[in-house]
Amino acid sequence: MSAVDVVRILDRAPLQFVSEDDLQESIRAALVSAGIPAERERRLSDGRSRIDLFVEPGVGVEVKIDGSWAAVVRQLQRYAKCPEITELVLVTSRSKHHRIPTELEGKPVHLVSLIGAAL
C-alpha cells in the first residue's frame, strides 16, 4: 500500500467530523472499508512521537485541523526521521497547511485537503 493509494481513497471518502479525533476515526474507517488496515496512534521508534494513523508497510497519516504551518512541518519532519515511515500523508482542513514540502528527510509527503468539508 502506497501513500498515493491512501490519498486516492481519502479523496473519495465522505469523511465526517466535528473534531480531530472524529476525523482520525473517519479516516481509519474509510481505509478499513477499502480493505486497508490502519492503526491509530502508532508510537514511533524515536521514543517520543505518535503518528495519528499508520498503514503498512510504512505510510504515516497525520491529521491537522489547526496549528501553525511551521509546527506541522516540524512534526512531519520528526516523523520522517523514523525509519519505519517511508511516506507521509497530511490530511488537513486548513489552507495554510497546503504549502507543506513535497519531501522531508528524503521521504515523499502527500496532501489531502478537506477545504470545503463540513465541520
Averaged over 89-114, what is the pLDDT?
A: 95
Task: Answer yes or no: are the C-beta atoms of 72 and 59 closer than 8 Å.
Answer: no
- The rounded distance, in Å, linking the Cα atoms of 42 and 6 is 17
pLDDT at 10: 96
- Measured distance CA(62)–CA(72) in Å, rounded: 9
pLDDT digits (tens, 9 = 90+) for 20-58: 999 999 999 999 999 999 999 999 999 999 999 999 999
pLDDT at position 83 over 90: yes
Domains detected in the chain: 3-113 (3.40.91.50)
In the chain, count of helices (H) and strands (E)? 3, 6
